Amino acid sequence: MRNALTIDVEDYFQVNAFSRRIRVDQWDSYPLRVVENTKRILDLLDRFEVRATFFILGWVAERRPSLVREISDRGHEIACHGFSHQLIYKFPPEVFREDVRRAKAVLEDISGSPVIGYRAPSYSITGNSLWALDILIEEGFTYDSSIFPIIHDVYGIPGALREPHQITRAAGKIHEFPVSTINFRFLNRQFRLPVGGGGYLRLFPVSWILRALQHLNIREKIPAVLYFHPWEIDPEQPHIPAELRSRFRHYLNLDKTLGKISCLLDNLAFAPMSEVLEILPARIHRPRPYQRKAGDWRKKHADTDRRRGDAASPEYGEKTADL
């Protein structure tokens, strides 16, 4: 069974863990390491003859268009990670629409190919931001990979389906490829454990991650999704002063990530997410040219600030849970 291999192309200073320390308008003052780290990943994928989906941040694409072209030229799928890597539920829908439209336009203009896939920054499509799915459908996206079916302090819809499925919304339908989890029972209680990558890949032994993904493929007949970031293979990156929890989440086992990824590539079959979902891109969807509004488009609207949602909304889709 083929699994979806995905890379979220952002740099070390753009992560949510450091958002209290580094504002978006300060990003240009930090040295970029995302280009060289992404090229190392491309070389690794060439060595294993594997193609992947790269969810690219619009901010990175706008400043380093040659990186987007190289990813595309080397046979990989270009997908969207938004423009400014902000949590969706903290902003009103019109700001999200501007962000995703701008990022999609930049990526399509550079690559010359349709961008049909989306992944939210920090998986921030939650129970309180499901409206984002309608906007994605309206903006021409065919699939999404933003829903994490676990409990977490930043993201997650614990009752969401674990396998790829189609979500029906007022705006239409969209394919959802949730981040991989496994169910396990302890003391007569059932839990979900994330096994799809990122910090969990760095935290758990790779032998255990491999067995978990094989379990999904063989026992549950579910394709898995593996995700990681270019900064996760870079133990030499500058250290950002932050609270202990943020430092732990970001810097844990960076020196072991590349070896773990290599082990998984050597033992599992991977492909771009659109191919695993068997979706073929159609034409480039551009409702109207992006026009940036006057003023700071990132400004907060206190009366519409949204907090993280812990449960699936009845509007999530035709089914809301598999427990």
**SS3 of 237-258:** CCCCCCCHHHHHHHHCCHHHHH
User: Which DSSP helix (H) or strand (E) runs through 265?
Assistant: helix 257-267
3-class DSSP assignment, residue 84: coil
CA trace torsion 43, 63, 147, 205 (10° rounding): 40
Q: Lowest-confidence range among 4-13, 50-59, 83-92, 307-316?
A: 307-316
CA distances to 22, 23, 82, 112, 171 from 29, rounded to whole Å, are 10, 11, 21, 30, 40
CA distances to 28, 39, 54 from 67, rounded to whole Å, are 17, 8, 11
Looking at the predicted structure, is the pLDDT value of residue 203 above 80?
Answer: yes
Q: How does DSSP classify residue 79?
A: E
Question: Residue 190's pLDDT is what?
Answer: 79
pLDDT tens digit string along 15-68? 988 888 999 999 999 999 999 999 999 999 999 999 999 999 999 999 999 999
* Closest CA relative to residue 9, chosen from 40, 55, 42, 41: 55
What are the structure tokens assigned to 106, written together? 């930049």
Q: CATH says 2-303 is which class?
A: alpha beta
Q: What is the CA radius of gyration of the chain?
A: 18
Question: Residue 16's pLDDT is what?
Answer: 85
Rounded-to-integer distance, Cα 5 and Cα 103, Å: 21
Rounded-to-integer distance, Cα 255 and Cα 236, Å: 9
- What are the domain boundaries of the chain? 2-303
Average of per-residue pLDDT across 232-255: 90
Give the chain's count of helices (H) and strands (E).
Answer: 10, 11
Average of per-residue pLDDT across 276-281: 76
Q: Would strands 189-194 and 2-9 be described as parallel, antiparallel, or unpaired?
A: unpaired
Question: Residue 322's pLDDT is what?
Answer: 31
Q: Band of the pLDDT at 144, cuts 50, 70, 90?
A: very high
Average of per-residue pLDDT across 238-264: 91
**Backbone φ, ψ for residue 19 (5° rounding):** -65, -25
Looking at the predicted structure, is the pLDDT value of residue 315 above 50?
Answer: no
Average of per-residue pLDDT across 108-115: 97
- The mean pLDDT value of the chain amounts to 87
* Closest CA relative to residue 195, chosen from 136, 139, 268: 268
Looking at the predicted structure, is the pLDDT value of residue 291 above 50?
Answer: no
Question: Residue 295's pLDDT is what?
Answer: 39
Question: Residue 188's pLDDT is what?
Answer: 79
pLDDT tens digit string along 148-158? 898 777 877 88
Q: Band of the pLDDT at 280, cuts 50, 70, 90?
A: low
Give the highest mean pLDDT range of 14-23, 63-72, 87-96, 182-191: 63-72
